[in-house]
Structure 1
Amino acid sequence: MKPWILGLTGGIGSGKSAAAQHFSDLGVHVVDADQAARWVVEPGRLALRKIAEHFGKEILLTDGRLDRAALRQRVFQDENERRWLEKLLHPLIRQEIVANLEQASSPYAILVSPLLVETDQHRLVQRILVVDVPEALQLQRTMQRDQADRKQIEAIIKAQASREERLRHADDVLNNDRSEEWLKHEVERLHAFYLTLRGGQVS
């Protein structure tokens, strides 16, 4: 029987990756859209060539890999450039995700994606779990983690779906405003529940 797919999403700094790691530790097959996004722009792949043609060679590091910081700066300053990049990358990322999900052998698999509800990636899943935290906590955690400035993080939060929008799509919500121990406990509780589901739905 094919595993059903759970979409796991949340804003930057919400703790999606930590939650996904706990699910993975429980034996669930996890596919990370961010990782897929990294694979499609590896040296030698078509996407990287097109990005370099479009933005110029200064978007590459000396070893030929993509300079993510430089690219991020360009696309967050210009809406049209961001749209161009998304149009190029989204179909490629989707192919990568689908191929990886097909390798799953656990009862259900997880697609972790910060852009689950903004892109058509939500069509790949049968159920959506949103990891939710207040925006002030998102900012604080991300600034600590990335050593990035507040303005850049606020721009990223603005570019992602709003908290309300995400929660509107949610079948399940995991409030991650407490400790790491609490998060682990909540993941275990949800995992036990998900194992009882067929096709991601309550029968």
Structure 2
Amino acid sequence: MLRIGLTGGIGSGKSTVAGLLAAHGAAVIDTDAIARQLTLSGGAAIDAIRSAFGDDFIDAAGALDRERMRALAFAEPEAKRRLEDILHPLIGAETARQAAASHAAIQVFDVPLLIESGRWRAQVDRVLVVDCSEATQIERVVRRAGWSPEMARAVIAQQAARAARLASADAVIHNDGITLAQLGAKVDALWAHWHRKR
């Protein structure tokens, strides 16, 4: 079994690459999706979040109020750390459960903060970074999520520097100024390479 750590800055196209790898037959374990599940109404993290942050951070449906929490995390780094202390052990346990349940020859761990975490590198065989310019990141996030350019820049500033991600990579897919078909061709070539190396 080959374990691939997939990462990239916001707006890089990492999720698109994850989907293309899944279409090839990879088992994609998406830590962002796990985090969202944990913070939905009835999710395993909700009681701890309510206890740590108060009812104001739980919306009318009983889920995490993501906008309010995002604003607090930007304003107070300590609040971000407290949230991570709640979520990361739960995400880790569910990630391990999904990995153990998979029999795919290639497992892809989609981890936005793979470089920042400091622990993921030892848990995967290869790190794949999806990369593009900061200008492209901002343009995509503004178009896709409706954020302001300033909000997109603030998120980028909180993520690992582009140079640090690239320095940690075993493979890089440059996703700037190319079509989806061209991106798919890059994923196809990398998939074939991994199978030759297995």
Fold-level similarity (TM above 0.5):
yes
The answer to whether the Cα contact below 8 Å between 1:12 and 1:138 also exists between their aligned partners in 2 is yes
Aligned residues: 196
- Output one character per residue of 1:126-175: Cα deviation in whole Å (capped at 9) or x when no partner: 10000000111001111100001122211111111110010111000000
CA deviation after TM superposition for structure 1 residue 46, in Å: 4.2
Q: 1:174 is aligned with what amino acid?
A: I
Partners in 1 of 2:62 and 2:35 — Cα distance?
A: 17
CA deviation after TM superposition for structure 1 residue 122, in Å: 2.8
Q: 1:114 is aligned with what amino acid?
A: P
After the TM superposition, which residues 57-76 of structure 1 pair with which residues of structure 2 at under 5 Å, given as runs?
Answer: 57-76=55-74
1:31 corresponds, among 19, 29, 32, to 29
Partners in 2 of 1:148 and 1:114 — Cα distance?
A: 18
The answer to whether the Cα contact below 8 Å between 2:25 and 2:104 also exists between their aligned partners in 1 is yes
CA deviation after TM superposition for structure 1 residue 51, in Å: 1.0
Q: 2:47 is aligned with what amino acid?
A: R
Q: Which residue of 1 aligns with 2:84?
A: 86
Q: 2:16 is aligned with what amino acid?
A: A
Partners in 2 of 1:71 and 1:124 — Cα distance?
A: 29
* Structure 1: 5+ residue stretches without partners: 199-203
Q: Which residue of 1 aligns with 2:19?
A: 21
* Structure 2: 5+ residue stretches without partners: none
Q: Which residue of 1 aligns with 2:121?
A: 122
After the TM superposition, which residues 137-152 of structure 1 pair with which residues of structure 2 at under 5 Å, given as runs?
Answer: 137-152=136-151
Partners in 2 of 1:84 and 1:60 — Cα distance?
A: 16
Partners in 1 of 2:42 and 2:74 — Cα distance?
A: 25
The answer to whether the Cα contact below 8 Å between 1:36 and 1:96 also exists between their aligned partners in 2 is yes
For 2:45, what is the secondary structure of its paired residue? helix
CA deviation after TM superposition for structure 1 residue 42, in Å: 3.2
Partners in 2 of 1:121 and 1:44 — Cα distance?
A: 28
Q: Which residue of 1 aligns with 2:194?
A: 194
Partners in 1 of 2:48 and 2:11 — Cα distance?
A: 30
Partners in 1 of 2:26 and 2:135 — Cα distance?
A: 31
Q: Which residue of 1 aligns with 2:156?
A: 157
RMSD, aligned α-carbons: 1.2
**4+ aligned runs moved over 4 Å, structure 1:** none
Q: 2:194 is aligned with what amino acid?
A: Y
Partners in 1 of 2:94 and 2:74 — Cα distance?
A: 24
CA deviation after TM superposition for structure 1 residue 97, in Å: 0.9
For 2:116, what is the secondary structure of its paired residue? coil
Give me the TM-score of the superposition, normalised by structure 1.
Answer: 0.92
Give me the TM-score of the superposition, normalised by structure 2.
Answer: 0.94
Q: 2:73 is aligned with what amino acid?
A: V
Q: 1:194 is aligned with what amino acid?
A: W
